[in-house]
Amino acid sequence: MAATKNTQPGGGSALGAWVGLAVRVVRGPVGATLVLAGVLVGGWYVVWHFFGEGLLRSDRYVLRQENLEVTPLPEWIHTDVRGEVFRSVAFEGPLVIMDDHLTKRIADGFALHPWVAKVRRVTKLHPARVKVDLDYRRPVCMVEVPGGLLPVDTESAWLRSEDFSPVEAAQYPRISGLESMPVGSVGTKWGDGRVVGGAEIAALLLGVWNELQLARIVPSARPQSGPHYSFDLYTRGGTRIIWGLAPSAGITGDVPAAERIERLRKFQAAHGTLDGPHQLDLRSMRGLEILPAVR
């Protein structure tokens, strides 16, 4: 008996039809494109599988410390800010330039450093290089605390005392008469209005502190105007100079800070010293007032 052909749906003839269609597609322009794409994807997978990790570890993709460029340090910072931040950030894993989160990692690392006031911009470049624009903190005074001195900047953020030698610390204005300690970690604001106002006055006097032979800034025990404290200066000879409120108190008609400093310089030029059996009051709009010393 002669064999009969299977013509049922899903049978051999249907399979042959699909195979024939696939062959015709592959032979056409669309098929050639698909085959080429498959070859490229497969080739890229093989290359990446064997060489990808090595490529990402090469100098073209991995950031080295020497290729991390930061704003030049001012003369008062002796700490290796770049090195400390790089080591802390790289501890979490290699710094790969293709990482979409790299700039944030670096920015966050610098923002936590005590010497950095603000991270302005982080820019990735290729081959692996990163530029970081920074604002640094500037110390303006030392605050006397039990056991030593703590430096603070213009915004009353406290800094690491080990970054200053005893000779360097002695050159800065000094705030004394406090019982408080910083409320946060190093690089954060002190949290005391007396340090805020004292640091503001210290910043104004920083350039003439040694010239005027000043020794310390002493805040009042209690606020004198709203939340604002009053401040006295003392010379190295012990003479009291009544400064009053810090400029940020915003008292209308108050004597400008520059005028107060100029009064002291003129008095010293005329008398050779600020010291004497008197007190000097800088608050009057009429000029420097000489008051009897308090015994």
Q: Examine the pLDDT at 36 and tell me if it is beyond 80.
A: no
Torsion sign over Cα 59, 60, 63, 68 = positive
For the chain, what is the mean pLDDT?
Answer: 85
For the cut 80, the answer to whether the pLDDT of residue 33 exceeds it is no
Please tell me whether residue 290 adopts helix, strand or coil conformation.
strand
For residue 196 the two structure tokens come to 């805020």
Summarised one tens digit per residue, pLDDT across range 233-262 is: 999 999 999 999 998 888 767 899 999 999
Cα-Cα-Cα-Cα dihedral sign, residues 287, 288, 290, 295: positive
Residue 29 in this model has a pLDDT that exceeds 70: no
Antiparallel, parallel or unpaired: β 278-281 and 116-125: unpaired
Tracing tokens 């052909």 back to the chain, one arrives at 5
Report whether 194 contacts 209 (CB < 8 A): no
Angle CA 117–123–128, to nearest 5: 125
R_g of the chain, CA atoms, integer Å: 36
Task: Please give the structure tokens belonging to residue 1.
Answer: 């008996």
Q: Is the pLDDT reported for residue 81 higher than 70? A: yes
* Angle, vertex CA 205, rays to CA 199 and CA 209, nearest 5: 115
Report which residue type is found at 257. A
Contacts of 118 (CB under 8 A, 6+ apart): 134, 135
pLDDT band at residue 210 under the 50/70/90 scheme? very high
Q: How many CB atoms lie within 10 A of CB 288?
A: 18
32-36 mean pLDDT: 53
Name the pTM for this structure: 0.76
Contact present, 208 and 261 (Cβ < 8 Å): yes
In the predicted model, is pLDDT for residue 58 greater than 90? no
Please report the sign of the dihedral spanned by the C-alpha atoms of residue 274, residue 280, residue 283, residue 288: negative
Rounded Cα distance, 190 and 180, in Å:
9
CB 288 within 8 A of CB 263: yes
Domains and CATH numbers, the chain: 65-136 (3.10.20), 139-292 (no CATH)
218 has which bridge partners?
232
CA 195/CA 270 separation, integer angstroms: 32
3-class DSSP state of 54:
helix
- CA quadruple 270, 273, 279, 285: dihedral positive or negative? positive
Q: Report whether pLDDT(155) > 70.
A: yes
Cis before 127 (ω within 30): yes
Say if residue 82's pLDDT is above 60. yes
The sign of the torsion formed by the CA atoms of 148, 153, 154, 155 equals: negative
125 or 44, higher pLDDT: 125
Among the listed residues 270, 272, 275, 277, the one whose alpha carbon sits nearest the alpha carbon of residue 287: 270
Q: Is 113's pLDDT higher than 50? A: yes
Q: What percent of the chain has pLDDT over 70?
A: 79
